[in-house]
């Protein structure tokens, strides 16, 4: 079943619950995305990375000093 927006957070929480863990149990966490639709999950991890981001994600990433990777430049 595909996950979208907050659904990705739900899936992550389900996986963590299955492992009896929380994100804080991990020294570092990463999530890579190109879409502002993934802001809910990007906002949860310690290392959010915008890859070839859409305009809305690029602006958000710049405002929060998140790493931005552009493979098209």
pLDDT tens digits, 9-60: 999 999 999 999 999 999 999 999 999 999 999 999 999 999 999 999 999 9
pLDDT value for 1: 60
Cβ density class 9-38: b for 16+ within 10 Å, e for less: eeebeeeeeeeeeeeeeeeeeebebebbbb
CA distance 11 to 64: 25
Quick check: 2 and 19 in contact, CB under 8 A? no
How high is the pLDDT of residue 63?
A: 98
> CATH for 6-69?
3.40.50.1000
């Amino acid at each position: 079943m595909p996950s979208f927006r907050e659904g990705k957070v739900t899936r992550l929480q389900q996986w963590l619950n299955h492992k009896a863990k929380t994100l804080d149990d991990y020294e570092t966490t990463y999530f890579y995305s190109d879409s502002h639709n993934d802001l809910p999950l990007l906002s949860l991890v310690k290392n959010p990375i915008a890859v070839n981001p859409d305009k809305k994600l690029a602006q958000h990433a710049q405002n929060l000093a998140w790493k931005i990777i552009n493979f098209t430049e």
